[in-house]
């Protein structure tokens, strides 16, 4: 697997930030935690990791734009390129000592995602993809799962947070999907959830109310692993709407069909 120079820059940034997160993960009780919104926590570990990623990426490509969860967006002088970064995806897990969190880095060129990295430092799992070059977990080429029906499938989801997404709608979707699948999982890191779809660990996934940095890298991982990703309406406005439905061609379509079922009135 030959990585481009740009992907190498992204991998090095993710690993460096991951080392910082790994150190802080061992001492979560010493972190300063503040609340950004209902259920949305941020710590100095998030901010340190973002600074590391930002410094590495901006050093390598000073003209690119930078969108990160924990800092003001930088509009680059190069209008075509933008980094999209979540320095710590799964902060709630991290702060609870649960080893399910990741650094997520994507590169957008002319509004298309062309490279993505998702790194879980707690498990040393590094997911990478470049457009047209396939998706990998460490050195292993990835392929989405082959199951064709929901009744055989394990489906991941995210529960919309207070004030984002629509709880009532989610509970209806959950009831519909739960009645049809082999199992439901809610692991708490959207970037890893999407990486799990790319790796065939999850047969499908859906969540709403997300931000571009949660999903940009994972979308490319899935497409490069032969999978399908859309927004909840089946369209391509995933980053803009923050809603995502993913799987192989059969499971992604089956999830969209479930979503279209009418909400029962009570």
Sheet holding 140-141, edge to edge: 65-68, 81-89, 102-109, 112-120, 125-130, 134-137, 140-141
- Which residue is associated with the tokens 């680059």? 76
The response to whether 89 counts as a known ligand-binding position is yes
164 binds ligand 2AM (CB under 6 A): yes
Nearer to ligand 2AM, 70 or 108 (CB): 70
The response to whether 180 counts as a known ligand-binding position is no
How many H helices and E strands in the chain?
Answer: 8, 14
18 binds ligand 2AM (CB under 6 A): no
Q: Is 106 exposed, middle or buried (0-12, 13-18, 19+ CB in 10 A)?
A: buried
Nearer to Ca ion, 181 or 246 (CB): 246
DSSP one-letter string for 176-236: HHHTTSSEEE--S-HHHHHHHHHTTSSSEEEE-S--HHHHHHHHHHHHHTT-EEE-TTSSS
Nearer to Ca ion, 86 or 130 (CB): 86
Pairwise CA distance, residues 45 & 95, whole Å: 10
173 binds Ca ion (CB under 5 A): no
The response to whether 86 counts as a known ligand-binding position is yes
Q: Of residues 196-215, which lie at the interface with ligand 2AM (CB under 6 A)?
A: 209, 214
235 binds ligand 2AM (CB under 6 A): no
Residues whose CB is less than 8 angstroms from the CB of residue 108 and which lie 6 or more positions away in sequence, other chains included: 81, 82, 83, 84, 114, 216
218 binds ligand 2AM (CB under 6 A): no
The response to whether 69 counts as a known ligand-binding position is yes
188 binds ligand 2AM (CB under 6 A): yes
Nearer to ligand 2AM, 109 or 185 (CB): 185
Nearer to ligand 2AM, 20 or 91 (CB): 91
Residues in the annotated binding site for Mg(2+): 69, 86, 88-89, 214
Which residues contribute to the site for Ca ion (CB under 5 A)?
69, 86, 88-89, 214
- Residues of this chain that interact with ligand 2AM (CB under 6 A) are 37, 39-40, 69, 86, 89-92, 158, 161, 164, 188-190, 209, 214
């Amino acid at each position: 697997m030959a990585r481009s120079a740009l992907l190498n820059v992204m991998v090095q940034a993710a690993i460096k930030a991951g080392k910082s997160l790994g150190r802080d993960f061992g001492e979560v009780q010493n972190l300063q935690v503040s609340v950004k919104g209902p259920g949305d926590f941020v710590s100095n570990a998030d901010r340190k990791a973002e600074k590391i990623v930002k410094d590495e990426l901006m050093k390598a490509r000073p003209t690119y734009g930078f969108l990160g969860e924990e800092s003001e967006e930088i509009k680059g002088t190069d209008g075509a390129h933008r980094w999209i970064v979540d320095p710590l995806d799964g902060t709630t897990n991290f702060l609870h000592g649960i080893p399910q969190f990741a650094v997520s880095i994507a590169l957008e060129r002319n509004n298309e995602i062309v490279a993505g990295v998702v790194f879980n430092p707690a498990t040393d799992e590094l997911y990478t993809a470049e457009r047209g070059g396939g998706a990998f977990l460490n050195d292993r080429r990835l392929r989405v799962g082959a199951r064709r029906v929901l009744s055989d499938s394990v489906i991941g989801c995210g529960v919309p947070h207070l004030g984002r997404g629509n709880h009532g709608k989610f509970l209806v979707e959950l009831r519909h999907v739960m009645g049809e699948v082999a199992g439901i999982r809610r692991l708490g890191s959207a970037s890893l959830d999407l990486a799990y779809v790319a790796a065939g660990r999850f047969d499908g996934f859906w969540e709403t109310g997300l931000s571009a940095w949660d999903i940009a890298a994972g979308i490319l991982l899935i497409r490069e692993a032969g999978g399908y990703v859309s927004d909840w309406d089946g369209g391509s406005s995933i980053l803009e709407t923050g809603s995502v439905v993913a799987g192989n061609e059969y499971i992604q379509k089956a999830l969209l069909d479930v979503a279209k079922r009418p909400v029962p009135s009570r």
